[in-house]
Structure 1
């Protein structure tokens, strides 16, 4: 019998899905490739919960994934407890807040993480906002023909789920790396955001762009819990020293 990789630490997060059949098709795709944990952020009322019957029609043999889905009111709530977040996008952006890789490179980043991992998929209409992308440690894309670049939501989930399953089969249970939690990183970025305004490194107008560049640098570093705490301590001590000097 073919070995079954353990992907139980990976959650699939759908942000504001609009169509019940897409959610059902996502559940089926997840079951195809050994994923079982579905989080849904602020779904359209016609989607559910309770989940529309159209979702169950499409979720062949994956009804249990729908029944066990976690519904949240915000993306941050859906990411609670995660150590690594992959956001997916098909739209080019002026500035990305994290490294960008094709779908087939995502497994080597994800499967080496100790703890909870989330793959985030955006709305059927326009995907994820820049502010939602800011929460990602890595951004995954699916190269497509320029004549028809966009994929259906469930199609995108199939591609990433397949790559994860294939990567897990090929690499087995390797050594995993403990990373700072999403909550710890967001606390660090909040401190850093205040600090760069206080020291005049940037102005309020350019602040979001500066922060996306800094996020990208720090996400490349894959900070451990201790490293994130160390950087926060450095920022706090610097602010204290500046205040003491001014006083």
Structure 2
């Protein structure tokens, strides 16, 4: 399991039950379980929140605690989220701020009880609230439209913190091992044979072979990928041979 304490997620005065459900679902996706709500709207079992929560309706959402802002500040190291940063060192309420990646790098170096604090859908966290929180996080986005909705912002931040919250040994096993050199060389032989049929200009073939070697070298293909490519070019070469035999006849 990850060696760091998993953050809790705090939503301050959410206005829409559906957004609470969306955040609960993102928490479930990325291994977080402790949801705390400051002055939330009613969350009815047959309402929007539970409808948007997916499997988080089974545990994360029904176990959410209602807390006060003061309790969060007193109990946790807090990371506030905001879209508006005021990139000016003379204004210390929203500056300096960290990106989600920088927040992860910071939290990886310490063992602490952390709360990820999200604000209201329309107004976010106000300056008085931000002034009481320990760190500020902002998600880089286009200058033309840098404001993400609440569910998007929460999902992005939790994704970036997944090394602290998800046990990678429990993730599905994915084939990552590079094919053996002998299998890759067999592919090169088949590809070169294909080139002799498809490219009659002698000076072009060595350049093409260098290009394919560099391409495969960067790609680090798996056994399955190399076998598929080898079979593809072998069959193409065989078709060339049959066509040449037919035209000679």
Coarse TM-score class (shorter-chain normalised): 0.5 to 0.7
1:111 touches 1:168 (CA, 8 Å); kept in 2?
no
Matches within 5 A, 1:129-208: 129-166=126-163
Is residue 2:39 matched to residue 1:42? yes
Query: Which residue does the alignment assign to 1:96?
Result: 92
**Cα distance in 1 for residues equivalent to 2:3 and 2:33:** 10
Pairing partner for 2:17 from 12, 20, 28: 20
How far the C-alpha of 1:126 sits from its partner, in A, is: 1.0
Deviation at 1:149, TM superposition (A): 1.3
How does the TM-score come out when normalised to structure 1?
Answer: 0.60
Distance (Å, rounded) in 2 between the aligned partners of 1:121 and 1:75: 11
Kept in 1, the 8 Å contact 2:5–2:112? The answer is no
Q: Structure 1 residues 125, 102: closer, same or farther in 2, change over 3 A?
A: same
Partner secondary structure for residue 54 of structure 2: coil
1:160-186, CA deviations, whole angstroms, 9 ceiling, x for partnerless residues?
Answer: 1001104666999xxxxxxxxxxxxxx
Partners of 2:39 and 2:45 in 1: CA distance: 13
- SS for the counterpart of 1:125 is coil
Query: What is aligned with 2:80?
Result: 87
Aligned with residue 62 of structure 2, among 42, 59, 67: 67
Q: CA RMSD in A?
A: 2.5
| Structure 1 unpaired stretches of 5+ | 173-247
Contact 1:8 1:35 in 2 (8 A): no
TM-score with structure 2 setting the length: 0.60
Larger radius of gyration: 2
The answer for unaligned runs of 5 or more in structure 2 is: 170-249
1:7, 1:34 within 8 Å by CA — same for their partners in 2? no
**How many residue pairs get matched?**
164
> How many Å apart are 1:109 and its aligned residue?
1.6
State the match for 1:126 in structure 2: 123
Instruction: Select the residue among 25, 28, 32 that pairs with 1:31.
Output: 28
Q: State how far apart, in whole Å, the 1-side matches of 2:60 and 2:153 are.
A: 18
